[in-house]
Amino acid sequence: MTSSEAERRAMRRALAIAVAPGVPLGPNPRVGCVVLAPDGSTIAEGFHRGAGTPHAEAAALAEAGEAARGATAVVTLEPCDHTGRTGPCSEALVAAGVRRVVYAQADPNPAASGGDRRLRDAGVDVESGLLAAEAEAVNRVWTFAVIHARPFVTWKFATSLDGRSAAADGTSRWVSSRAARLDTHRLRAQCDTMLVGTHTVEVDDPQLTVRDELDRPVAIQPLRAVMGLRDLAPDRRVLDDRAETVHLRTRDPHEALARLRALDRQHVFLEGGPSLARAFLQADLVDEVVAYVAPMLLGAGTSAVADLGIETIADARHLRVDDVHVLPGGDGEDTNIRLTMTPLRRH
């Protein structure tokens, strides 16, 4: 049985409510569910509001009540088949008497998958893959973290047209425009961890918080992670009470990501200096690059990334450009271009 137009509309609605404002970015996936009556009308809907709260299916079934019997549940992710803080959604759907389940993305988590089989074994009609690409986009980072058992890494930097992040005298304010800085805060808010090295903390003393257009801290802040062996001076702003901070006493990017994964972190925003960027690039641990390019030439100064040991053009690291966006300047500031890119793996 193929999906109906009513089910497609319901899936689009489920995808929309899955990304409702205020839902935590992790560690759980974002999921939406819509329950349809046999005539295709909507009975109830629900979405997952974060770890420890009812899953989307449970929330929708609670709203539907007895009307769920004989209904169709349209869900953005395969119903789970494991017991964690809440019970299996597959069992809840069967117990509610749902006749048919349509889901978009198969669950990549082996600890939670199996709902499809459990539902079919119970006699429920199941269809998978409806708007799967759209559903995977909603949980792009979560899916990556589950499959690769490490956080997704976005490396962000600002640079002049000739690849300099600071002038010869060390000044760097402002290579990026105000529009670019506001855009950076928008991207920071989409991550659950911001990572820099101890050198950046020592020299630049960043606060590493997410702020709004009026430079006010937002309510939900990412974890601040500092990587490196040296001690941090107690007066550094990264140690204030604006957000949680963890010191990763290692120079190994693999170890740093493993420790962050153990803390249920799934998206790292890499904002450190050129040496930290080199370490992650050489370890092949950069999954996305966001570069803000200013139309200026410095001719000398700090490079955006430290020496990668590349001596011939044949060994250049290549990236695929995924998006180009112009950020207009104002009040005498330069227009910046934001490039979003995916590094091409070396193997």
Q: State the catalytic residues.
A: 57
User: Which residue, chain included where needed, has tokens 């009609």?
Assistant: 125
Which residue type sits at 271? E
- The answer to whether the beta carbons of residues 144 and 287 sit under 8 Å apart is yes
- Torsion angles phi and psi, residue 165, rounded to 5: -95, -10
What residues have CB less than 8 Å from 223, skipping those under 6 apart?
Answer: 192, 193, 194, 243, 244, 245, 246, 260, 263, 265
CA distance 273 to 284: 17
Q: Biggest alpha carbon distance in the chain?
A: 72
Question: Cα angle vertex 297, ends 295, 303, to 5°?
Answer: 105
Region class of 22: left (phi > 0), else alpha (psi between -120 and 50), else beta: left
321 sits in which H/E element: strand 319-327
CA distance 53 to 59: 9
